[in-house]
Chains A and B, each alone.
Chain A
Amino acid sequence: MKLAIALVLTAASAIAQMRVMALPSKSQLVTFRIVFLAGSAADPPNEPGAAYLTAMMLARAGTKDLTYRQVVDALFPMAASVSAQIDKEMVTFSGVTHTDNLESYYKLLRAMLLEPGWRADDFQRVKDDAINALRVNLRANNDEELGKEALEQNIFQGTPYEHYSGGTVSALEKLTLEDVERFYRQQYNQANLILGVAGGYSPAFLERVKEDFRGLPPGKGFRPRSNAPAPITRNRALIVDKDTRSVAFSIGYPTPVTRANPDYTALLVASSYLGQHRSSNGRLYQRMREARGLNYGDYAYIEYFPRGMFQFEPSPNLGRQYEAFQIWIRPVEPPTAHFALRLALYELDKLYREGIPEDGFEHTRDFLSKYVNILTSTKSAELGYAIDSLYYGIPPYNQYLKTHLAKLTRDDVNHAIKRYLRPDRLVIVAVTKNGEDLKKQLLSDAPSSMSYNSPKPGDLVEEDKTVEKFPVHLAADDVRIVPVDQVFE
């Protein structure tokens, strides 16, 4: 061990025994969220995808005693399932059952997680699915998610967060069943486990579940903290070249601000003001879509938010040690791409320079104080957020956010903006056809003038004169074009 710092205990795994988050209630449903801190950051070197395939061999394959067909047949009449979410730190197995079926469901869930079958035919299918998820679902069929994941990869290069949580095509092809079984033996232990149960179960049931999971090895109780991503010293752009109709952008840079950071709430207010996810009240949405009709929507984030095109609220259990600030510009028509990028950068710069306006601060603070109730309005979300709070070592999220928002001042937000927002030193990812054309535009200082299909107010016309020349600060060496078939390969 080279440095003592590598042994700093994380909040996530400081105790060498499983942790339990139990939320009993009178419900007719029982919800499980079983989290292992065994995500893709724990993939062995040269084995990106080990964590993903391991989780899938539990959630989408047979057990020691049952074939996958028998598992599926048993789950079907209960309309139940076991789903897996794999991120950098956390792997989450979740499911819900009616209390009528609690015993039968838990028997299956327990066998799937604690007594996996490790069959070769299941492994082949799960591996094919993993490769197709990358090649087809992500690279070919979803430009927006492709842009977001390519951005993550670029931001976190040189760290265990660099590779996509689903692995890379070449590594997935090489991984063997033995690799995956080894990963399970090493990572699926009590120290890495947060056991979450909510709903209408009895205390005796919970004790039985805990006893079952005590059958896992104890684990070491700590994991070296990952190295922090390197600061980005100047703007750089990655253009993913593919045959597509429009241009999708994602922009961002790494931040150290997780929920455990004292500036989390202040920065959350700033990003919500700039671009609350899928809401029409963010500044980016108002100026880009509402006033100019550039695209379908534009948003900002301080926490990882995958699958944003399919869901309004974020999935819980994506806890991380490092986060990224991100702006998501939904696909724009190619002739307006350069202008749209400039406008997003202009708005970010404006927020950095001028800070949040007084009314924007008050409205956003009020919004978040109530919106947090909606985030946790399902049992599964409530349980998920409670687990995340345990991971970060903070009070229950609703209480945490409301308490901090009540004390927050506009100065606190503006201080966080100055400290953590950056109008420059960004990674810009574009997914587009004719990447060379976009590269030329991005490198040129020529104005990207807009014309509209209807008259615009004078102040917008004036603003456009600034936006169309807004500097993107890229030199030729800062722009890289990659053909889509090389991304995540």
Chain B
Amino acid sequence: MIPKLALAASFAAVLFGADSSPKVFPYPYSQEDLPNGLRLVTVPTDFPNIVATYIVVQTGSRNEIEAGHTGFAHLFEHLMFRGTEKYPSAKYEAALKQIGASSNAFTTDDFTCYHTTFSKEDLETVLAMESDRFRNLKYAEPDFKTETLAVLGEYNKNSASPDRKLDEVIQDTAFDKHTYKHTTMGFLKDIQDMPNQYAYSLRFFDRYYRPEYTTIIVVGAVKAKAVRELVDKYWGEWKRGNYQPEIPREPVQDVPRANHVDWPSPTLPILTVSYKIPGYTDTAKDTAALEALSFLAFSPTSELYQKLVIQEQKVDQLMADNPFNVDPTLFGIEARVKKPADMDYVRDQILETVKTLRDQPVDAARLDAVRNHLRYQLALRFDNSDTIANILARFVALRRTPETIDRLYAQLAQLTPADIQQAATKYLTENGRTIVTLTGPGSAK
């Protein structure tokens, strides 16, 4: 760690990336904490003219611990566009329009992210406007009620997709206590009740929209010192909070679970097999091993994919997802089956593949191919400032530092076939399994 910039002495600044070790995140960056707990990560790049800001708030549907309030983190993402006294929503929109910015937000299980991409000369305007709404958001009850209808509209536009319904049922079936029981959209009954929850919304803002929950990521045609000065100016006075949610712990699952969705319109049957896995870690091998395993066993180069999709052509989509979540979550395998009669066969093939992963070490050469794939996959995405900020946001949401990426890839670099087998044995177990199927009208279950 060699400091490259002279930074003001009132804060601790750490600079990474200047040494010669082979890092997968190739950009030098600065990471700084303001006295109020706000963290700033600045990544100057040589992509011209454009700057992306991604503001990560570590609250998502995971934080929705009170009954009847699922979907609130996501509703809040909407409310943040409802304006302040200084910038009522119309003025905020007009200002963003005038600078030609692309601005939006998204919410996940674990975090909410507000992102804006714009020309470099507008950095101060953006940081000032963003600070204003994070500190001074003010919306009246009628506007609140109208915005809840836009959230219902979002649920409606999603509702034509069977995948969304499957996610709802998988999470509801696999979890009992933890808030991952509901999706980020929330339960429909809670969305329909949102118009009546104005007072709760104010409480939600007061709890989580605080500097200690927030990291500002600035990537692009910028200088770290100038960014820090602007952040001090506009965000320095933001008051720290003191709320700590008690997220319920999920009890250990001790029997396999199953559920089924009858989908009202014609579709191909979908089979999902999920397993309970630990929350994200980069200090142990678990997350890295499961990530590699998802590619080894279920990507297009895997034996199973080649058999079911390419040779037998019984399945038209096969994929696995190893999500990086804060708390213990689900490793998911999904197959879309061409004929309902093949559902049981495909399920047995997936279970057999999982058993093989537990029983035998994987081929070392294939593990090397996966490692190469993951490194190049990342490198190919570092082609513009907005995408770099977007990738960083997902890691910063977990550990509040870009170093997270390098730590994970360091674990990947050290994996052996025995590690993969160990992770499969430990986590891809029958008792931790949830199978959910979905079929359209007229299909046998």
Query: Is B386 an interface position by the 8 A CB rule?
Result: yes
CA distance A330 to B152 in the complex (A): 12
Query: Contact: A243 with B265, CB < 8 Å?
Result: yes
CA distance A28 to B311 in the complex (A): 36
Query: Contact: A76 with B156, CB < 8 Å?
Result: no
CB-CB under 8 A for A331 and B268, given A378-B384, A454-B146: no
Number of A-B residue pairs, CB cutoff 8 Å, is 207
Query: Is A72 an interface position by the 8 A CB rule?
Result: yes
Query: Is B94 an interface position by the 8 A CB rule?
Result: yes
Query: Contact: A378 with B383, CB < 8 Å?
Result: yes
Chain B residues positioned under 8 Å from A100 (CB to CB): 376
**Among candidates B119, B141, B159, B369, residue contacting A245 with C-beta atoms closer than 8 Å:** B159
CA distance A185 to B372 in the complex (A): 37
Query: Contact: B50 with A373, CB < 8 Å?
Result: yes
Chain B residues positioned under 8 Å from A296 (CB to CB): 150, 153-154, 156-157
Query: Is B47 an interface position by the 8 A CB rule?
Result: yes
Query: Is A434 an interface position by the 8 A CB rule?
Result: no
CB-CB under 8 A for A293 and B119, given A77-B373, A379-B383: no
**Among candidates B49, B141, B310, B380, residue contacting A68 with C-beta atoms closer than 8 Å:** B310
Most chain A beta carbons < 10 A, residue from B104, B195, B300, B440: B300
Chain B residues positioned under 8 Å from A242 (CB to CB): 265
Query: Contact: A373 with B100, CB < 8 Å?
Result: yes
Query: Is B414 an interface position by the 8 A CB rule?
Result: no
CB-CB under 8 A for A366 and B150, given A79-B374, A280-B93, A379-B383: no
Query: Contact: A367 with B89, CB < 8 Å?
Result: no
CB-CB under 8 A for A140 and B265, given A281-B94, A293-B146, A456-B142: yes
Interface residues of B in 79-124 (CB under 8 A from A): 81, 89-90, 93-94, 96-104, 117-119
Query: Contact: B100 with A293, CB < 8 Å?
Result: no
Residue of A whose beta carbon sits closest to that of B266:
A140
Chain B residues positioned under 8 Å from A333 (CB to CB): 152-153, 156
CA distance A380 to B383 in the complex (A): 9
Query: Contact: B153 with A294, CB < 8 Å?
Result: yes
Query: Contact: A27 with B157, CB < 8 Å?
Result: no
Query: Is B160 an interface position by the 8 A CB rule?
Result: yes
Residue of A whose beta carbon sits closest to that of B163:
A141
Query: Is A10 an interface position by the 8 A CB rule?
Result: no
CA distance A281 to B91 in the complex (A): 10
Interface residues of A in 77-93 (CB under 8 A from B): 77-80
CA distance A128 to B159 in the complex (A): 25
CB-defined interface of A159-185 with B at 8 Å, one 1/0 digit per residue?
000000000000000000000000000
CA distance A453 to B152 in the complex (A): 13
Interface residues of A in 312-331 (CB under 8 A from B): 312-313, 330-331
Query: Contact: A366 with B98, CB < 8 Å?
Result: yes
CA distance A141 to B161 in the complex (A): 5
Query: Is B306 an interface position by the 8 A CB rule?
Result: yes
CA distance A78 to B372 in the complex (A): 7
Chain A residues positioned under 8 Å from B299 (CB to CB): 76
Query: Is A444 an interface position by the 8 A CB rule?
Result: no
Query: Is A443 an interface position by the 8 A CB rule?
Result: no
Chain B residues positioned under 8 Å from A136 (CB to CB): 266-268
Closest Cβ of chain B to A61, distance in Å, is 10
CB-CB under 8 A for A454 and B102, given A280-B81, A331-B156: no
Closest Cβ of chain A to B183, distance in Å, is 16
Closest Cβ of chain A to B76, distance in Å, is 16
Chain A residues positioned under 8 Å from B341 (CB to CB): none
Query: Is B202 an interface position by the 8 A CB rule?
Result: no
CB-CB under 8 A for A28 and B50, given A136-B267, A294-B153: no
Most chain B beta carbons < 10 A, residue from A140, A366, A369: A140
Chain B residues positioned under 8 Å from A98 (CB to CB): 376, 379-380
Query: Contact: B93 with A281, CB < 8 Å?
Result: yes
CA distance A28 to B378 in the complex (A): 13
Chain B residues positioned under 8 Å from A374 (CB to CB): 50, 100, 102, 117-118, 386
Query: Is A341 an interface position by the 8 A CB rule?
Result: no
Closest Cβ of chain A to B346, distance in Å, is 15
Closest Cβ of chain B to A344, distance in Å, is 14
CA distance A189 to B273 in the complex (A): 46
Chain A residues positioned under 8 Å from B148 (CB to CB): 293, 453
Chain B residues positioned under 8 Å from A364 (CB to CB): 97
Residue of A whose beta carbon sits closest to that of B89:
A290
CB-CB under 8 A for A143 and B93, given A293-B150, A368-B100, A454-B145: no
Most chain B beta carbons < 10 A, residue from A72, A76, A139: A76
Query: Contact: A132 with B142, CB < 8 Å?
Result: no
Most chain A beta carbons < 10 A, residue from B49, B144, B156, B163: B156
CB-CB under 8 A for A377 and B150, given A76-B369, A140-B265: no
Chain B residues positioned under 8 Å from A210 (CB to CB): none
Query: Contact: A363 with B159, CB < 8 Å?
Result: no
Closest Cβ of chain B to A140, distance in Å, is 5
Residue of B whose beta carbon sits closest to that of A96:
B380
Interface residues of B in 52-94 (CB under 8 A from A): 81, 89-90, 93-94
Query: Is A440 an interface position by the 8 A CB rule?
Result: no
Query: Is B283 an interface position by the 8 A CB rule?
Result: no
Query: Is A292 an interface position by the 8 A CB rule?
Result: yes
**Among candidates A129, A142, A309, A377, residue contacting B385 with C-beta atoms closer than 8 Å:** A377
Query: Contact: A289 with B316, CB < 8 Å?
Result: no
Query: Contact: A330 with B153, CB < 8 Å?
Result: yes
Interface residues of B in 381-406 (CB under 8 A from A): 383-387
Closest Cβ of chain A to B146, distance in Å, is 4
Chain A residues positioned under 8 Å from B162 (CB to CB): 140-141
CB-defined interface of B352-376 with A at 8 Å, one 1/0 digit per residue?
0000000000000000110011111
Query: Is B313 an interface position by the 8 A CB rule?
Result: yes
Chain A residues positioned under 8 Å from B368 (CB to CB): 77
CB-defined interface of A94-108 with B at 8 Å, one 1/0 digit per residue?
001110110000000
Query: Contact: A125 with B310, CB < 8 Å?
Result: yes
**Among candidates A80, A129, A144, A367, residue contacting B157 with C-beta atoms closer than 8 Å:** A144
Query: Is B338 an interface position by the 8 A CB rule?
Result: yes
**Among candidates B97, B117, B161, B380, residue contacting A79 with C-beta atoms closer than 8 Å:** B380
Query: Is A332 an interface position by the 8 A CB rule?
Result: yes
CA distance A453 to B195 in the complex (A): 8
Closest Cβ of chain A to B125, distance in Å, is 12
Query: Is B442 an interface position by the 8 A CB rule?
Result: no
Query: Is B149 an interface position by the 8 A CB rule?
Result: yes
Query: Contact: B119 with A370, CB < 8 Å?
Result: yes
CB-CB under 8 A for A128 and B316, given A69-B310, A295-B157, A377-B50: yes
Query: Contact: B49 with A141, CB < 8 Å?
Result: no
Closest Cβ of chain B to A288, distance in Å, is 10
Chain A residues positioned under 8 Å from B147 (CB to CB): 293
Interface residues of B in 278-313 (CB under 8 A from A): 299-301, 306, 309-311, 313
**Among candidates B102, B104, B195, B387, residue contacting A378 with C-beta atoms closer than 8 Å:** B387
Chain B residues positioned under 8 Å from A379 (CB to CB): 383-384
CA distance A95 to B211 in the complex (A): 41
Query: Contact: B102 with A295, CB < 8 Å?
Result: no
Query: Is B10 an interface position by the 8 A CB rule?
Result: no
Query: Is A223 an interface position by the 8 A CB rule?
Result: no
10 CB-based A-B contacts, threshold 8 Å = A76-B299, A77-B373, A136-B266, A279-B97, A292-B146, A293-B148, A297-B153, A371-B101, A374-B117, A453-B195
Q: A79-B377, A101-B376 are in contact. List 18 more A-B contacts (CB 8 A).
A: A73-B301, A136-B266, A140-B267, A246-B157, A293-B146, A295-B153, A295-B157, A296-B153, A296-B154, A297-B153, A366-B100, A370-B119, A374-B102, A377-B47, A377-B384, A378-B383, A378-B387, A454-B141
Give me the 9 closest cross-chain CB pairs, A-B, nearest first: A370-B100, A293-B149, A454-B142, A79-B376, A454-B145, A79-B377, A295-B153, A296-B153, A293-B146
